[in-house]
Amino acid sequence: MTDISVAGDLLLKSTHLQINEVVAELRNVRTTALLDRQGHLKPPRLPSRKILAGVIEGLRTALFPNRLGPSDLAVEGVDHYVGHILNSTLRALLVQIQHELHFNSGTEELDQETYAQAAEITQAFAKRLPAVRRLLDGDVLAAYEGDPAARGIDEVLVCYPGVAAITWHRLAHELYQLNMPLIARMISEIAHSQTGIEIHPGAQIGERFFIDHGTGVVIGETSIIGRNVRLYQAVTLGAKHFPVDENGTLVKGIARHPIVEDDVVIYAGATILGRITIGHGSTIGGNVWLTRSVPPGSLITQAQTHND
């Protein structure tokens, strides 16, 4: 055996011993953390980001089978195809809902009550899909009508990141409303990674919503957005400050993001912070920093404010 081979064997043995030590130490840390958090050593499974990405893609296809489904899909086979996609997709979603319920319960095993609750939530979500499709039809139309570069409805649906982001949000928001905040947040973060647009699933967004270009848009959890609102890239609807309690812990769940009323346009780079109201029909110019409410019909620019 050559000197190189001997040195290699010694290195492998040494590395193996070191790895075993690291594995043992990680087990000790993990065990301590599990006992501190939940009092037992069997952690519940979290929902899977990978599976949820597939679930949402399946739901998008079921909502728009003629455009996002297979190119050879025959007209007479659409309902059968949608039924097949929904059946497999909702079954996968059901399992993810079971995981979130189990995680929230803190128990070691799933019980029959949890299984039944997961089925009820899945069924309630499925019943909301037609309403989601109607909302998305309005969003797609608003994008087409609001962008002179758009050559057709189908182009908007399959190409625009803003439309993809609002599609994912509409679905995530329904799950958020059904008290599935972890799954909803995971879906919103998948959309964020794919589109560069971050919309918290708790945000309430009205009909005919359009994000043009989109990269860098941030919409906070308690934002309320009315009908016919248009945003451009790098717009932030955020919180102005984060209150803490007497122990210095952040107070969560309070309304801290803007209210944007109907028919508002917010141009690129605008930052709107706090629980303020942007009155209906207002226009917020590019790169504006706004921390106060403005009345309906306002035109806000960096240089001056006009109230029409």
Structure tokens at 147: 């962008």
The percent of residues above 70 in pLDDT, for the chain, comes to 91
User: β-strands 224-225, 236-238: how paired?
Assistant: unpaired
- What CA–CA distance (Å, rounded) separates 186 from 156? 25
3-state secondary structure at position 241: coil
Whether 288 has a pLDDT exceeding 70, the answer reads yes
Structure tokens at 113: 């009550």
DSSP 77: G
Q: Partners of 284 in the beta sheet?
A: 266, 300
If one compares 242 and 68, the residue with the highest pLDDT of the two is 68
Query: What confidence tens digit (pLDDT) does each residue in 122-157 have?
Result: 999 999 999 999 999 999 999 999 999 999 999 999
Whether 1 has a pLDDT exceeding 90, the answer reads no
- What CA–CA distance (Å, rounded) separates 77 from 75? 5
Average of pLDDT values for 64-68?
94
Rounded to the nearest angstrom, the gap between the alpha carbon of residue 153 and the centroid of all alpha carbons in its chain is 24
Q: What angle do CA 168, 242, 230 make, to 5 degrees?
A: 35
CATH 1.10.3130.10 fits 46-196, yes or no: yes
3-state secondary structure at position 198: strand
User: β-strands 305-307, 298-300: how paired?
Assistant: antiparallel
Reported as type and span, the H/E element at residue 55 is helix 49-63
What does the domain layout of the chain look like in residue ranges? 46-196, 216-308
Count of CB atoms situated within 10 Å of the CB of 217:
26
Average of pLDDT values for 166-180?
98
Are the C-beta atoms of 42 and 108 separated by less than 8 Å? yes
Whether 109 has a pLDDT exceeding 90, the answer reads no
Whether 106 has a pLDDT exceeding 80, the answer reads no
- What CA–CA distance (Å, rounded) separates 278 from 147? 23
Average of pLDDT values for 208-228?
97
The CATH number assigned to the domain with range 216-308 reads: 2.160.10.10
- What CA–CA distance (Å, rounded) separates 49 from 34? 22
Say yes or no: do domains 46-196 and 216-308 share a fold.
Answer: no
User: β-strands 230-231, 265-266: how paired?
Assistant: parallel
Whether 11 has a pLDDT exceeding 90, the answer reads no
Q: What angle do CA 30, 32, 35 make, to 5 degrees?
A: 105
Confidence of residue 6 (pLDDT cuts 50, 70, 90): low
